[in-house]
Amino acid sequence: MQLKYKRPEPVPTLFADAELGLRNTIRIYAASQADVEIRATLATGRQVLAALQAGPCPEVLVLDALLQDMNLFDLLAEIGRMELKPHPAILVTAMRLSPQQQDRLLTAGCDSFILKPYSLNMLFAMVVNHAADSQAFTQRRVDRLLDWHLSALRADFSSKGVDYIRCVMQVLVPAGSAIPFNELYEQIAEGEAINCEGVVTAVRRTIKQLQSRQTEEYRDMCAYYGKHSEQGLTNAEFLSLLAQRVRQELRG
């Protein structure tokens, strides 16, 4: 199995299987690779729930279908009720799965399955591939790409305006479609316990600062709209173009 995306940091993962031998081999295998960090190897469903409640939330959960203390569907339901943010990808390991069972598992919150006996190489590759699609990983990638652009624009990372721009990008970049900016400003304002106008002003002030820096990145953004850099960009122009560029880079 080919890895979809080679990420620099290991994927934090919880592994649960009633079989002690398998938990031991997972630990040994994990010690000699760097793509997956096995946070814990657990034997029961209740241990899984306790680990998730204690936090921090792993990016991937590998759950065997036959944990002795809990029915798998009950466990998936409990995990769903926890409303974990970001929600981990869930892989189920099982002896056999009919299409009906597969469908039930997918409906219950499972993302994928692997049948026993499995290759550890394949299992770990699946963990990495599912993490590559995970919400947490996407958020971190957006942040990193954004940091690069903001650095190129010589932004002041300590300013509130940059924080608000980051929040907007986290929604706008994965969305891939137009979202009214007022809605985003209102959400940020609610979270900050300030009024919407405060958010708009902070973002505008930051963009004005970036204009004053007259970096090559800023001039390039203005040129995209057919504008001279002295004319400056509106909030909407700046945010839309930044989101577009980060989205393109995210897709590779």
Partner 1 sequence: MVLQKGGTQAERDQQAALELGGGLKGRMAGSFCVLQSSVEAMQHYLAAKTDPDVMQELTPVLAEMEQSIAYLSRLCANAADIALAYTGGFCSEKMPLELTETLTRLVNCVGEELLARKLDASLVLDDHVQEPLWLMADTGLVDALFANLISNSLRACPTPATLRIACLPGREPLYTDNGPGLRSTLERTCLIQGVPTPETLQQGQLGLLLVHQYANALGWTLRPENGPASGFRLRILLPPFVPPAELTLHSSAAATENRNALQRLCLSRELDGTLGLIPPKEP
48 sits near partner 1 (criterion: CB under 8 A): no
Structure tokens at 157: 């990372």
Binding-site member from 14, 42, 72, 89 for partner 1 (CB under 8 A)? 72
Cβ neighbours around 34 below 10 Å, total: 9
Q: How far is the CB of 180 from partner 1 (least distance, A)?
A: 28
Binding-site member from 6, 8, 32, 55 for partner 1 (CB under 8 A)? 32
Q: How far is the CB of 110 from partner 1 (least distance, A)?
A: 9
- Give Cα 195 to chain centroid, integer Å: 28
26 sits near partner 1 (criterion: CB under 8 A): yes
Judged by beta carbon, residue 105 or residue 184, the one nearer partner 1 is 105
Identify whether 86 is preceded by a cis peptide bond (ω within 30 of 0): yes
Cα–Cα distance measured from residue 97 to residue 207, given in angstroms and rounded to the nearest whole number: 54
Cβ contacts of residue 148 below 8 Å, gap of 6+? Answer: none
Q: Calculate ∠ Cα 57-86-2, nearest 5°.
A: 85
- Binding residues for partner 1, total number by CB under 8 A: 39
Cβ neighbours around 110 below 10 Å, total: 22
116 sits near partner 1 (criterion: CB under 8 A): yes
Q: How far is the CB of 127 from partner 1 (least distance, A)?
A: 14
Q: How far is the CB of 68 from partner 1 (least distance, A)?
A: 11
Q: How far is the CB of 160 from partner 1 (least distance, A)?
A: 40
69 sits near partner 1 (criterion: CB under 8 A): no
- Please choose, out of 30-38, 181-189, 193-201, 228-236, the segment that lies near partner 1 by the rule CB under 8 A: 30-38
229 sits near partner 1 (criterion: CB under 8 A): no
80 sits near partner 1 (criterion: CB under 8 A): no
**Gyration radius (Cα) of the chain, Å:** 22
Cα–Cα distance measured from residue 51 to residue 47, given in angstroms and rounded to the nearest whole number: 6
> Residue 105: helix, strand or coil by DSSP?
helix
Contact indicator for 93, 114 with CB cutoff of 8 Å:
yes
**Binding region for partner 1 (CB under 8 A):** 19, 21-22, 25-26, 28-29, 31-33, 65-66, 71-74, 94-104, 106, 111-121
